[in-house]
Amino acid sequence: MTLFLDVNTLGSMVDQHGTEEFMTELLGYMKDDFCRWEEFDKSSRTAAHSDIGVIELMPVADGVNYGFKYVNGHPPSNPNVGMSTVMAFGALSDVSTGYPRLLSELTLSTALRTSVTSVMAAQALANPHATSMGMIGCGAQSEFQAIAFHTIIGIKELRIFDIDHQAMNKVAEHLKDYPELTVIKASSAKACVEGADIVTTVTADKAYATILTPDMIEPGMHINGIGGDCPGKTEIHLDVLKAGKIFVEHEPQTRVEGDIQQLPAEHKVNPIWKVIAGLEQGRDTEDQITIFDSVGFALEDFSVLRYVYDLAVQLGVGEQIELIPQLDNPKDLFGLTKRPSCSSTIREVA
């Protein structure tokens, strides 16, 4: 049988287990996977573009597990009709048989894994004394970023900005649950990042946007760029990219989708997995600008699929579903069409 986790079950799991515990344990799974980077069969995601969005498939496998995610990106058209910009689901299968062990929601899980990926990179790249963050963009992903940076990195002061004031109010309201975190609503993107140790850009627009411009950058900043993740969809000004040491997930994918799509192919970028694995240095000096040009890679979804499966088993939640037929005779698939329940359904329809 396949374990099925819908979005309500996943939400309850996070609530029951604790958001901080969930993120910290997921970080452990993700670091393990990034340290095994070379063991994975990796590829850039497959993207189907339309005028207003994209639908992507993201597979990855090691010798034991195969995972994939289906995800879309439709900013700003989806929010304009009351739907999420990003929606996702996925599966984890046994490589030895191909049997899908888990079918799961991945919308909530994507927000959790993206925030955990961001802190994994920031642990490796930001100055260790970082206590303040400016976050531009207050949509669906934003609270997860704020909570991960507060609880894992130790951010104490968070300045937020969004062109949508209601979105800013929503974030400030949700973060009241974290009394040790001071949240300040900024009047502009520039005011949001002024003096910040870490800058997170998590906006959504289907455009070559320049959310971060050179005049906003200060020595030693770490930039956690989340929303430049599709061809023709960027957040960071070209001159900011040129001023920093850039780190990426899967370089062939990021070259096409990340903010670095603005740079020539020969511009050097650094694999974040090598820093996580302790094979290469991250930041070289205290004053250096470091940039994590995140687009979201299949391995992060693989980690969250592995983690939520283990956690669901531990908590005894989820539903066992017969997604794949269990046959007495594996060669008799046709026999399924002769089951009494199938024929009675046909009679009802008729």
Q: Would you count residue 79 as binding ligand NAD (CB under 6 A)?
A: yes
**∠ Cα 108 162 53 (to 5°):** 55
H or E element: which one contains 115?
Answer: helix 107-125
- The secondary structure of the chain in percent helix, strand, coil, rounded to multiples of 5, reads 40, 25, 35
Contacts (CB under 6 A) with ligand NAD, residues 281-340: 294-296
Q: Is 229 a catalytic residue?
A: yes
296 or 318: whose CB is closer to ligand NAD? 296
Q: Tell me which amino acid residue 298 is.
A: A
Rounded to a whole number of angstroms, the minimum distance from the CB of residue 294 to ligand NAD is 4
Token representation of residue 19: 């958001």
Q: Would you count residue 227 as binding ligand NAD (CB under 6 A)?
A: yes
Q: Which of 39, 164, 218, 310 binds ligand NAD (CB under 6 A)?
A: 164
Strands of 54-61's sheet in order across: 46-49, 54-61, 65-73, 88-94, 100-105, 2-5, 319-321
Token representation of residue 50: 């339309």
- Interface region with ligand NAD, contact rule CB under 6 A, candidates 35-43, 225-233, 239-247, 342-350: 225-233
Q: Would you count residue 134 as binding ligand NAD (CB under 6 A)?
A: no
Rounded to a whole number of angstroms, the minimum distance from the CB of residue 272 to ligand NAD is 12
3 or 259: whose CB is closer to ligand NAD? 259
Beta-sheet pairing, 132-136 with 46-49: unpaired
Q: Where are the alpha helices (DSSP H) in 126-164?
A: 142-148
Q: Which of 33, 56, 229, 257 binds ligand NAD (CB under 6 A)?
A: 229
92 or 138: whose CB is closer to ligand NAD? 138
Q: Which of 124, 148, 226, 248 binds ligand NAD (CB under 6 A)?
A: 226
81 HSE (CA, 13 A, CB side): 5
Rounded to a whole number of angstroms, the minimum distance from the CB of residue 184 to ligand NAD is 16
What angle in degrees, to the nearest 10, is found between the helix axes of 107-125 and 19-35? 70
Judged by the rule CB under 6 A, the positions of this chain that interact with ligand NAD are: 73, 75, 79, 85-86, 110, 114, 136-142, 161-164, 167, 189, 202-205, 209, 211, 226-227, 229, 294-296
Query: Which residues are marked as active site?
Result: 229
